[in-house]
């Protein structure tokens, strides 16, 4: 929590300095604007939480059906040969592999708050195999970097934020996030493979990775021939079809496996409610801090500086308004969510900056927070190459998100 403590305090400290500068410059209204922003953001936090309760409750309910229907076990068995090559020190059938698979499933749905407790179980299971009590093992580093590369295939929480802010089509960013998160995950895997000398050219590994790479390449070639309007329409259609198709698949598998689907849903939903209710204090804290920062003029001053540099390079500056989300995401998920919501409020939910911010949010991860929580939970003090590889994946995600949004939304 020390990192979050410093980040939160710095928001208020910078805002205070900027407000004093504006006051001395002849703008006494800055204090009223900051106080008004505090109350406005506190109200917004509660409004966002209402929908967040529903989203987490809904998806953890369906995820519990999938778990009881054996879909997670099936996925684990399908991935077992791949894990055996990428994490050779983890025995086949070890509980860590089940937790890793379930964690990836939750992350794939964009349920990062639900994925964290599962990820901690996976890290503790991997620590049992670690010969050192304080130095991260290769398996722990690979798991953490893939986790930090934002394995988001269906970002339902981002759809939820867009819906709450009144987006005409909440799933519009589905394809941009899918492409950007693919880039960050690929860079994360390649960087760890380079550092750990993993044999990615192993026939078994290639059998898993090549079809996915060819499918993604062919899909991008198909998209290249579409107009921006057609791309947006396709993203919306695929997002909605995938979302509802996944729900039907969970229910059908549960019914075929004689799972009491209603009871399983309620059990998982109850867990989702417990996860969600603990988030309100963090959301209020970060949204209010970000609101004060923008009302003081400090955030705008930073963006003006970046905009000046980008203009000097002769580049388009519209993406600059989305950078606050990218800048704070490695440190805090709640701060990044606050920045995303604040960008939507300021520029409009379907504006270009808001679309870029949503894509960045879906294709990057809270790298330092994940490192601190996951390694801290098992007493790891030496992260080795985990930080460098995770930050490289984050940078790839941000650059890919900006590029893809210009491609899709012009």
Taking residues 293-311, report their average pLDDT.
Answer: 83
Lowest-pLDDT choice from 31-35, 168-172, 231-235: 231-235
Question: Is the pLDDT assigned to residue 383 strictly greater than 90?
Answer: no
What single DSSP character describes residue 240?
Answer: H
Region 1-23: mean pLDDT is: 80
With pLDDT > 70 as the criterion, what percentage of the chain qualifies? Answer: 91
Is the pLDDT at 341 greater than 90? The verdict is no
The pLDDT score that the predictor gives to residue 300 is: 78
Closest CA to 277 of 50, 64, 5: 50
Percent of the chain scoring above 90 in pLDDT? 13
User: Beta partners for 382?
Assistant: 135
Q: What is the pLDDT at residue 157?
A: 76
What pLDDT is recorded for position 112? 65
Q: What is the pLDDT of residue 399?
A: 93
- pLDDT tens digit sequence for 107-139: 776 666 667 777 777 888 888 888 888 888 888
Mean per-residue pLDDT, 72-79: 76
Lowest-pLDDT range of 120-124, 189-193, 231-235: 231-235
pLDDT category of residue 49 using cuts at 50, 70 and 90: confident
Q: Tell me which of 122 and 264 has the higher pLDDT.
A: 264
What is the predicted pLDDT for the residue at 1? Answer: 44
Tell me the pLDDT band of 356, cut-offs 50, 70 and 90: very high
Q: What span, in angstroms and rounded, lies between the C-alpha atoms of 58 and 55? A: 5
d(CA 336, CA 325): 5
Six token digits for residue 248:
């039907």
User: 174-208 burial by CB neighbour count: b if 16+ within 10 A, else e?
Assistant: bbbbbbbbbbbbbbbbbbbbebbebeeebeebeeb
What is the structure's pLDDT at 149? 75
Q: What is the DSSP string of 49-87?
A: HHHHHHHHHHHHHHHHHHHHTTHHHHHHHHHHHHHHHH-
pLDDT over 70 (residue 189): yes
d(CA 214, CA 232): 23
Domain boundaries defined on the chain: 2-6+22-409
| Higher-pLDDT residue of 366, 65 | 65
Distance CA 13, CA 296 (A): 11
User: Ranked by mean pLDDT, which of 124-133, 255-264, 286-295, 375-384 comes out on top?
Assistant: 255-264
Picking from 2-6, 22-26, 227-231, 394-398, which range would have the lowest pLDDT averaged per residue? Answer: 2-6
List the single range of 107-121, 185-199, 210-224, 266-280 with lowest mean pLDDT: 107-121
Where is average pLDDT lowest: 27-41, 77-91, 328-342? 328-342
């Amino acid at each position: 929590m020390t990192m979050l403590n410093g980040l939160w305090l710095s928001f208020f400290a910078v805002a205070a300095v900027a407000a004093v500068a504006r006051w001395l410059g002849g703008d006494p209204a800055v204090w009223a604007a900051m106080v008004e922003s505090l109350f406005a953001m506190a109200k917004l936090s509660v409004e966002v939480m209402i929908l967040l309760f529903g989203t987490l409750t809904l998806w953890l309910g369906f995820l519990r059906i999938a778990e009881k229907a054996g879909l997670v076990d099936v996925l684990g068995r399908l991935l077992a040969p791949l894990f055996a090559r990428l994490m050779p020190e983890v025995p086949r059938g070890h509980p860590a592999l089940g937790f890793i698979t379930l964690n990836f499933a939750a992350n794939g749905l964009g349920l990062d708050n639900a994925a964290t407790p599962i990820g901690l179980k996976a890290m503790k299971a991997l620590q049992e195999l670690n010969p050192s009590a304080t130095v991260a093992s290769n398996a722990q580093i690979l798991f953490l970097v893939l986790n930090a590369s934002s394995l988001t295939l269906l970002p339902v929480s981002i759809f939820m934020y867009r819906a709450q802010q009144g987006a005409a089509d909440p799933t519009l960013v589905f394809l941009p996030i899918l492409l950007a998160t693919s880039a960050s995950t690929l860079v994360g895997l390649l960087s760890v493979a380079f550092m750990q000398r993993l044999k990615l050219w192993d026939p078994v590994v290639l059998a898993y990775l090549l079809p996915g790479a060819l499918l993604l390449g062919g899909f991008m070639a198909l998209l290249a021939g579409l107009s921006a309007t057609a791309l947006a329409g396709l993203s919306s259609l695929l997002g909605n079809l995938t979302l509802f198709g996944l729900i039907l698949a969970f229910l059908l598998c549960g019914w075929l496996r004689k799972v009491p689907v209603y009871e399983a849903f309620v059990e998982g939903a109850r867990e989702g409610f417990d996860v969600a209710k603990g988030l309100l204090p963090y959301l209020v804290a970060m949204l209010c801090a970000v609101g004060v920062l923008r009302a003081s003029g400090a955030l705008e001053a930073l963006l003006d500086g970046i905009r000046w540099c980008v203009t000097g390079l002769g580049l388009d500056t519209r993406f600059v308004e989305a950078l606050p989300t990218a800048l704070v995401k490695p440190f805090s998920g709640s701060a990044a969510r606050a920045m995303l919501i604040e960008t939507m409020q300021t520029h409009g939910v379907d504006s270009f900056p808001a679309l870029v911010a949503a894509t960045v949010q879906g294709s990057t991860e809270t790298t330092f927070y994940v490192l601190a929580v996951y390694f801290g939970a098992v007493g790891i003090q030496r992260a080795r190459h985990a930080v460098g590889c995770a930050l490289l994946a984050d940078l790839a995600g941000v650059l890919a998100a900006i590029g893809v949004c210009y491609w899709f939304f012009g």
